[in-house]
Chains A and B, each alone.
Chain A
Amino acid sequence: MITDHITVWIVIVALAIGSFLIRFSFLGIVGDRPMPEWLLRHLRYTPVAVLPGLVAPLVLWPAATGGVTDPARLGAALMTLSVGYFSRNVLAAILSGAATLYGLLYLLG
Chain B
Amino acid sequence: MTSSNPKRHFLRGVRDALPFILVIVPFAALFGVVATEAGLNVVEVMSFSVLVIAGAAQFTAVQLMTENAPTIIVILTALAVNLRMAMYSASLTPYLGKAPMWKRALVAYFMVDQAYALSQIKFEMERDLTVSERFAYYIGTVAPLAPLWYGASYVGAVAGAQVPPSLALDFALPITFLAMIAPALRTLAHVAAATTSVVLALLMAWMPYGSGLLVAAIGAMIVGAQVELLMTRKAGQ
Residues of A within 8 A of B (CB): 1-3, 5, 7-16, 18-20, 22-28, 30-32, 35, 38, 40-60, 62-64, 72-73, 76-77, 80-85, 87-91, 93-94, 97-98, 101-102, 105
Contact = CB atoms under 8 A, between A and B. Distances in A.
Interface residues of B, number: 95
A82 to B, nearest CB: 8
Contacts of A54: 60, 63, 77, 81, 177, 201, 213
15 contacts: A16-B51, A32-B93, A41-B229, A46-B87, A49-B224, A51-B81, A52-B201, A54-B201, A57-B202, A62-B170, A76-B171, A84-B183, A89-B183, A94-B175, A98-B175
Contact of A19 (B39, B52, B201): B52
B148 interface: no
B96 interface: yes
A51 B181 contact: yes
B157 interface: no
B224 A8 contact: no
A93 B23 contact: no
Contact of A27 (B22, B53, B92): B92
